[in-house]
Amino acid sequence: MRALDERATRIAAGLAAADRSKQEMIAVERHIQIELNKSREESQRRITEAEGTANKLAEEIRISAQEEAVRIVEQARSDAEAEVHRAREALRKEVAVLAVKGAEQILRREVDASAHAELLKQLAVEL
């Protein structure tokens, strides 16, 4: 009997140990599941944060590009206006030179209405 009692005690102890191991395994699985959920949440938070940062940077780059485009257009407009001004000044100088030439030619010729008309026609063609 004593052998049976010892054997029964060992079997009971083994079953108790198996039950404890099973409970520990269940607890570990719960812990693993909790940690996995935390990891997923943290990963999703980081992804969302990275997307937010990327969107912010993209918006900053877009705004910077627009500002640069405006600056380039304004500079081109300013350069064009300066070129128009230079061209007008050059044209004014040419007109002044032609007017002086015409006046010189008129003064060199005799005072004659038909000669003056002819010179004015030539000046008109040159202008």
Question: Which residues, 6+ apart, have CB-to-CB distance to 127 below 8 Å?
Answer: 95, 98
Output DSSP code: residue 56: H
Contact 98, 106 (CB under 8 A): no
Q: Is the pLDDT of residue 84 over 80?
A: yes
Q: Is the pTM of this model over 0.85?
A: no
Range of the domain at 18: 2-126
pLDDT in tens, 40-79: 999 999 999 999 999 999 999 999 999 999 999 999 999 9
Q: Is the pLDDT of residue 127 over 70?
A: no
Domain count for the chain: 1
Question: pLDDT value at position 6?
Answer: 85
